[in-house]
Amino acid sequence: MNAPTPLGRDFYTGAVARLQNRLRDEEVDGTLLLDPANVFYLSGFHYAVNERPVGLFVPLEGEPVLFVPRLEADHAAAAGVEVRVYDEFPGVQHPVLWMVDTCGAAYLMVDTLEARVYHEAKVLLTYLEARDLVMPLRAVKTPAELELIRAAASYADLCLERILACAGGIIRAGGSELDILHGGLAFANARLHAATGSAFEHTETTVVGTVHSGPRAALPHGRTSRRVPERGDTLIAGIGACVGGYHAESGATFTVGAPSAEQQRCLEAAERCNDAAVAALRVGVTGAEVDAAARQVLRDAGLNDAIRHRIGHGMGVAGHEAPWLAPGGDTPCAVGMVFSDEPGIYRPGRDGYRTINTMILTEAGVEIPSTFQARVPLAARVLEL
């Protein structure tokens, strides 16, 4: 695979210009962005999120201004935008109120604002509105962003390949879910960092994941444990990767030894559910419609009581972001949007099944940069003991 390359300054300049075009339709002087994903999307500044707020003010016209705590000042200087610094949190004046003051705007929009700060900020302004204009822009990815997402999917796949190749031997030696996961992650991260070198040293670039087996596979967000998988178990590996700040996911369900007839039934139902989401995803349909079409397959298979979550979510600079393939997901799907496709079957005290593909909606249809499931059929997802 080709080594991915970082987004250039032109990307961030273009993103700011697109936001300013949206701002011209609003009766405000600019918008203060406090959501870390929005700050990164428009500036390229990636930082450790903590109690000290970071903000980006984008005026109706002119250049953005990045507001950071003093301990981030040197780091932020590399972002390529004007930086202004506050001393510390909580400070004599709350840092967000300082940002509102420093913006110099009378009519201001913010993407997110704590309730305890809202009323004090409102006093400082003629008009204050809490609304996120950036998320709709983030939802439709540019070709450069899609290349990073494709790269991320390939490294998530690589982790799954390693798990398939090595998990059986790890279990035979008495290894646990944690041992299986660590082996896959170490291999994929080594390959990722060898390929990227220092290119993404200022942005998140890593492979992470979970492994659950047996009855623990019925916990969609359970912690990977020291449990040693046993013959007859299902084992779910859910892998996420981030390259240059952009996320993708791949996941698969394996069986420890040959699957039983009942396990095979559930595996096939999950595969049909995955395929139904791909078939339903097209320009103009809503996320709710895609979700309903996919999950109906599980209901038709008699697995309604085993459904615990939606079919998918958007991905980009956040691992989970709008638009949502879920009830209430009323955003029409558009070319350039990226989603997860993750059928889930969970039977408490018994077993669980989940597969994950990354989907990109293109002019030609649905592209699936997660290739593990396409290359490794159900019959080959067996951990031999």
Among positive and negative, which fits the CA dihedral 139, 143, 145, 147?
A: positive
The total number of structural domains that make up the chain: 2
**How far apart are alpha carbons 229 and 174 in whole angstroms?**
9
pLDDT in tens, 66-110: 999 999 999 999 889 999 999 999 999 999 999 999 999 999 999
Q: Kindly report the number of other CB atoms within 10 A of residue 284's CB atom.
A: 8
The verdict on residue 146 lying in a domain is: yes
Q: Position of tokens 């002119």?
A: 62
* Residue 239 β-bridge partners: 209, 250
The verdict on residue 245 lying in a domain is: yes
Q: Indicate whether 333 and 189 sit together in one domain.
A: yes
Which of 83, 114, 138 terminates a domain? The answer is 138
Q: Indicate whether 237 and 306 sit together in one domain.
A: yes
Q: Indicate whether 298 and 374 sit together in one domain.
A: yes
**How far apart are alpha carbons 209 and 221 in whole angstroms?**
11
Alpha-helical segments (H) within the chain: 9-23, 36-43, 73-76, 95-103, 115-123, 135-139, 143-172, 177-196, 261-280, 287-300, 372-375
Q: Indicate whether 16 and 38 sit together in one domain.
A: yes
Closest CA to 182 of 162, 203, 168: 162
**How far apart are alpha carbons 365 and 40 in whole angstroms?**
29
The verdict on residue 2 lying in a domain is: no
Q: Kindly report the number of other CB atoms within 10 A of residue 292's CB atom.
A: 18
The verdict on residue 1 lying in a domain is: no
Q: Indicate whether 205 and 348 sit together in one domain.
A: yes
Which of 76, 108, 138 terminates a domain? The answer is 138
Q: Indicate whether 106 and 179 sit together in one domain.
A: no
Q: What does pLDDT average to over the chain?
A: 97
CATH number at residue 86: 3.40.350.10
Q: How many helices (H) and strands (E) does the chain have?
A: 11, 17
The verdict on residue 290 lying in a domain is: yes
What confidence score (pLDDT) does residue 193 get? 96
The verdict on residue 178 lying in a domain is: yes
CATH number at residue 280: 3.90.230.10
Alpha-carbon dihedral angle through residues 71, 76, 77, 79, given to the nearest 10 degrees: 170
Output the CA–CA distances (angstroms, integers) from residue 155 to 35, 67, 73, 187, 332, in the order listed.
27, 34, 33, 10, 29
Q: Indicate whether 54 and 112 sit together in one domain.
A: yes
The one-letter amino acid at 37: A
Q: Indicate whether 324 and 208 sit together in one domain.
A: yes
The radius of gyration of the chain from alpha carbons, rounded to an integer in Å, stands at 23
**Low-confidence spans in the chain with pLDDT less than 50:** none
Q: Indicate whether 108 and 210 sit together in one domain.
A: no
What confidence score (pLDDT) does residue 1 get? 59
Q: Indicate whether 97 and 184 sit together in one domain.
A: no
The verdict on residue 3 lying in a domain is: no
What confidence score (pLDDT) does residue 3 get? 80
Host domain of residue 227: 140-383
* Residue 210 β-bridge partners: 238
**How far apart are alpha carbons 169 and 161 in whole angstroms?**
14
Q: Indicate whether 125 and 201 sit together in one domain.
A: no
The verdict on residue 246 lying in a domain is: yes
323 in Cβ contact with 331 (< 8 Å):
yes
Q: Residues of 53-82 as b/e, b for ≥16 C-beta within 10 angstroms?
A: bbbbbbbeeeebbbbbbeebeeebeebebe
Closest CA to 354 of 326, 380, 373, 367: 373
Which of 138, 155, 180 terminates a domain? The answer is 138
Q: Indicate whether 134 and 219 sit together in one domain.
A: no
